[in-house]
């Protein structure tokens, strides 16, 4: 082994000490690496194209969709008041802007400018109100640090470096995704979960147990990466309700994609490439229109959150409003709701295999709900019209009969039963 190492070191020094080097050839070799590692291609890479290549072309059979899947909790009459409410809120925002403009800068090296505080305040405040996250005071810390970084500290403290803020000057959507990402870490309890695993890892090390230490270290790294994926997607949900643009927001992850080393095994963070793929794959199944309405409704029914200066001079506090009923505040989506989203939007995308999979999962979780059975019947009917196999028509009848057992007076159920009978009759002829 020592002999091999000596030979490698000797060859390295021979190479470094060579006088007559072909620098043109050296540049050519380096440019081969540039094709792989050049940041421009990474920045603009659209990983959603990879997904599109795998989607099979379907025939032009019209989908049945009585639009049974939607959110409740808001009404159009209330939503019509949104623009009027925004005009009223802008008066309060102007007061807060003037208040922060008077923020004294005691030390250029330690304090951010008032306009940076106001920028983050406006973005965070909109996300908080649109998602009913105003049950706690949120602390916003801005560090005058040129490094590209942000983090969530404790439950309600969000920290942003000025280097990150400067990177997204002119793109509030990307900055919003970063803000929402850090809020999501707090809301999903990632800190508590990862601290528990980390402490178990340290305990195993103290106890001299290498097997348990290795287990908890690996678990910590895996769960750390998974929490980043989850915070990216949950953050995207939060900014959708706050009416930020998901496509523009993607720049936040595009920048990260140009900065990492593409090595994930021993890292607490996923690669930027995988984070982009995760983001693009998940947002396909977002109920964007519904969530935007929900976010507007939440803003209409809440007041502007006040802003106070922190005693540490590096932070501001977004002050909570008067407390509401606890059931009105933000909750992560239920598993049933996620099944419902993925099933429905897969159906609209004519990805019947995935749609059927998640409608079945939803039906098992919510056995008294007729909607998954109706759509499962639609899927089987679609497959029958595509492939002309009798088994699909039989399956379509079975699913709609299950729906009928739950609610035999539902008009969509009875219409589907009639249409399947007509289809069967026409086929027999």
The answer to whether residues 116 and 122 touch, using CB atoms and an 8 Å cutoff, is no
Q: Can you tell me the distance from the alpha carbon of 126 to that of 302, in angstroms, rounded to the nearest whole number?
A: 11
> What domains can you pick out in the chain, each with its CATH number?
2-50 (no CATH), 61-67+350-428 (1.25.40), 76-328 (no CATH)
144, 152 Cβ separation under 8 angstroms: no
- In order of 10, 15, 23, 30, 419, the CA distances from 19 in angstroms are 16, 9, 11, 19, 84
Residue 167 and residue 145 in contact, taking contact as beta carbons nearer than 8 Å: no
The answer to whether the CB of 359 falls within 8 A of the CB of 343 is yes
Question: Are the CB atoms for 271 and 279 separated by under 8 Å?
Answer: no
Please give the pLDDT value at position 71.
84
> Within the chain, which residues score under 70 in pLDDT?
1-19, 23-24, 26, 28, 30-39, 42, 49-59, 103-110, 260-262, 428-429
Our measurement of the distance from residue 136's CA atom to the centroid of its chain's CA atoms, rounded to an integer in Å, reads: 22
- 3 state DSSP class of 46: coil
CA–CA separation, 249 vs 259, rounded Å? 17
Structure-token match 């005058």, residue found:
144
Spatial distance between the Cα atoms of 392 and 378, rounded to a whole number of angstroms: 10
Q: What is the pLDDT of residue 41?
A: 72
Amino acid 72: pLDDT: 78
DSSP string, 203-223: HHHHTT-HHHHHHHHHHHHHH
Q: What is the DSSP string of 333-376?
A: PPHHHHHHHHHHHHHHTT-HHHHHHHHHHHHHHSTT-SHHHHHH
Structure tokens at 245: 């643009």
Instruction: Please give the pLDDT value at position 33.
Output: 62
Torsion sign, CA atoms 183, 184, 186, 191: negative
- How far is CA 410 from its chain centroid? 36
Q: Which long-range contacts (CB under 8 A, 24 or more apart) does 33-40 make?
A: 39/258
Long-range contacts of 410-414 (CB under 8 A, 24+ apart): 410/370, 412/66, 412/68, 412/374, 413/370, 413/374
Tell me which H or E stretch contains 138. strand 138-143
| DSSP type of residue 187 | H
Rounded CA separation 345/66 (Å): 14
Instruction: Supply the pLDDT for residue 106.
Output: 60
- pTM for the model stands at 0.86
Q: How far apart are CA 181 and CA 176, in angstroms?
A: 8
Helix 335-348 to helix 371-387 angle, to the nearest 10 degrees? 30
């Amino acid at each position: 082994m020592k002999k091999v190492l000596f030979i490698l070191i000797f060859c390295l020094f021979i190479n470094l000490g060579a006088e007559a080097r072909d620098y043109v050839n050296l540049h050519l070799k380096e440019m081969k690496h540039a094709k792989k590692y050049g940041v421009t291609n990474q920045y603009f890479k659209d990983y959603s194209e990879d997904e599109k290549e795998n989607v099979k072309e379907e025939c032009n059979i019209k989908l049945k969709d009585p639009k049974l899947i939607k959110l409740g909790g808001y009404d159009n009459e209330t939503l019509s008041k949104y623009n009027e409410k925004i005009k009223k809120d802008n008066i309060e925002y102007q007061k807060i802007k003037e208040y922060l403009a008077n923020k004294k800068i005691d030390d250029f090296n330690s304090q951010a400018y008032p306009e940076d505080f106001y920028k983050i305040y406006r973005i965070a405040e909109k996300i908080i109100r649109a998602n009913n996250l105003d049950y706690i005071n949120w602390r916003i810390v801005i560090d005058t640090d040129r490094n590209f970084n942000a983090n969530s500290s404790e439950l309600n403290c969000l920290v942003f470096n000025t280097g990150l803020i400067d990177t997204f000057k002119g793109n509030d959507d990307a900055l919003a995704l970063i803000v929402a990402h850090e809020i999501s870490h707090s809301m999903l309890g990632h800190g508590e979960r990862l601290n528990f695993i980390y402490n178990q890892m340290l305990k195993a090390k103290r106890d001299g147990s290498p097997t348990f230490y290795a287990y908890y270290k690996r678990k910590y790294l895996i769960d750390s990466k998974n929490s980043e994926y989850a915070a990216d997607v949950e953050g995207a949900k939060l900014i959708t309700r706050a009416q930020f643009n998901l496509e523009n927001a993607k720049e936040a992850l595009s920048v990260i994609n140009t900065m990492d080393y593409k090595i994930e095994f021993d890292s607490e963070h996923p690669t930027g490439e995988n984070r982009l793929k995760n983001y693009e794959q998940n947002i396909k199944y977002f109920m964007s229109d519904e969530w935007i309405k929900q976010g507007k409704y939440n803003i209409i029914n809440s007041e502007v959150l006040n802003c106070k200066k922190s005693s540490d001079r590096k932070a501001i506090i977004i002050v909570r409003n008067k407390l509401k009923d606890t059931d009105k505040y933000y909750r992560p989506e239920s598993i049933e709701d996620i099944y419902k989203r993925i099933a429905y939007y897969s159906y609209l995308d004519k990805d019947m295999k995935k749609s059927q999979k998640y409608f079945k999962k939803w039906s098992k979780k919510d056995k008294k709900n007729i909607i998954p059975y109706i759509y499962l019947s639609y899927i089987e009917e679609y497959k029958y019209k595509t492939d002309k196999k009798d088994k699909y028509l039989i399956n379509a009848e079975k699913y709609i009969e299950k729906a009928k057992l739950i609610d035999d007076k539902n008009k969509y159920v009875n219409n589907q039963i009639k249409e399947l009978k007509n289809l069967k009759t026409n086929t027999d002829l």
